[in-house]
Amino acid sequence: MKTLRNLVGGLAGAAALNIVHETVRHLVNTAPRVDLLGKEALSKGLRKAGVNPPSGTKLYLATLAADVVSNAVYYSIVGYGKKRHLLTRGAAYGLAAGVGALTLPKPMGLSDAPVTRTNTTKALTVAWYLLGGLVTAAVIKKAL
């Protein structure tokens, strides 16, 4: 039951992150483009595995699905630990994911430009992952 609750919370956090990202990227020029980073990562990973990656809408949808699943699993970890530290863990995991989104692409051989091109882009990247962590914690807390 605890694992299911945590996964539902993680899914809520991942959904919040992606809804904000997908909405704002169409409205704000300096918005992070995590979708581009994800497409590059998925394409490179599939090529290394000897698989031709999809293109166009199929690549976009595969990337979005992989992003939601991976973020849901990551955020679900927020639910493990003492109940009284739930919101703090949500914030910490969200901040860690945001900082990771800024610092990990280059060492992974990916372009960091979609998330680091301006200070606003960097701040929004971290803020959106923080939001995902906090939504996760709130949903899990409500289910307790």
pLDDT at 144 over 90: no
Q: Is the dihedral of CA 83, 84, 87, 89 positive or negative?
A: negative
Question: What is the percentage of the chain residues whose pLDDT exceeds 70?
Answer: 100
pLDDT at 1 over 90: no
pLDDT for residue 23: 96
**Which residue has better confidence, 144 or 128?**
128
Confidence of residue 62 (pLDDT cuts 50, 70, 90): very high
CA–CA dist 13, 71 (Å, integer): 8
DSSP H helical ranges for 27-118: 34-48, 56-76, 86-103, 113-116
DSSP state for residue 105 in the 8-state scheme:
T
pLDDT tens-digit series, residues 70-112: 999 999 999 999 889 999 999 999 999 999 999 999 999 999 9
Start-to-end CA distance of the chain, whole Å, equals: 11
Place of tokens 């914690």: 137
The whole-chain average pLDDT of the chain stands at 96
Q: Is the dihedral of CA 38, 40, 43, 48 positive or negative?
A: negative
CA 23, chain centre distance (Å):
14
pLDDT tens-digit series, residues 120-130: 999 999 999 99
pLDDT for residue 113: 97
Is this model's pTM higher than 0.85 or not? yes
Average pLDDT score over residue span 16-32: 96
Domain boundaries, the chain: 2-143
The count of other CB atoms within 10 Å of the CB of residue 86 is 20
